[in-house]
Amino acid sequence: MEIVGESYGQIDLEALAAADPDLIVTTVYPVDSEGTLDDTQPLYGFESLEQQEQVAQIAPVVAIAWRGSAADVIERTAELAGSLGADLESAEVTAARHDYEEASAALTEAAFSGVTVLPVAAYPDEGFSMAEAPDDPSLHLYADLGVQFVDPGGEDHFWQAASWEQVPQYTSDVILYSLRGTMTPEEMSTQPPTGCCRPRRPGRCTPGSTSAWTTPPRPATCSAWPTGSSARSR
């Protein structure tokens, strides 16, 4: 794997050109719960539209939108892979599909118990950022499989904020916490008011990720992405 940047938005254009890619695949996040994409903003990974266009001069860029259910995202990503020549009926893919179906069935069975889940990212100075399950493709998929997520309310897209003083209002059986540079359950339990972030059932603080994932675009093939351009696959 060629590394062409060490941090978000920092792309070594010379190194990228030397890698001679045929296609560059990235993602794009919606700006609201309806899944609206903002064409005035750069795709994920680019610091500006100018940089994005510079990259598009090296190879066509296609973005898969991270919206809806992860099941749709998986299907759309598979369509893209198939259009690029991947064998979707290979033994490896077939085995992965079987594992996915087994895991889905196991999650549905576990969710049948009726436990409630609160997905959070916790920060020492801010409190909880609670994810809206319908806005996150992964959580959306889990909900479709039967997981009961706590609705944090509010009108903001994706995240709803709660100060540490407000956190006790949001009770759940399981806390699904983000691992992306946020607080651990042990760190959360030290925040006042005492025990404010402990789940109703002891021992049910589960590491997870509440980061957004992609959603399915319209059907397209490589020929739809001319060299020197960028396209948003919806």
- Residue-wise pLDDT for 54-64, tens only, equals 999 999 999 99
Alpha helices in 119-216 (DSSP H): 137-144, 185-188
Q: Are residues 117 and 192 in the same domain?
A: yes
Number of domains in the chain: 2
Question: What DSSP designation does 43 have?
Answer: P
- Residue-wise pLDDT for 117-145, tens only, equals 999 988 998 989 999 999 999 999 999 99
pLDDT at residue 110 is higher than 80? yes
Asked if residue 55 lies in contact with residue 110, where contact means CB atoms within 8 angstroms, the answer is no
Within a domain: 8: no
Structural domain harbouring 144 = 113-208
Q: Are residues 221 and 196 in the same domain?
A: no
Within a domain: 227: yes
Whole-model pTM: value is 0.78
Distance of CA 213 to the CA centre of its chain: 2
The amino acid that residue 114 corresponds to is: G
Within a domain: 199: yes
Residue recorded with tokens 């809206």: 132
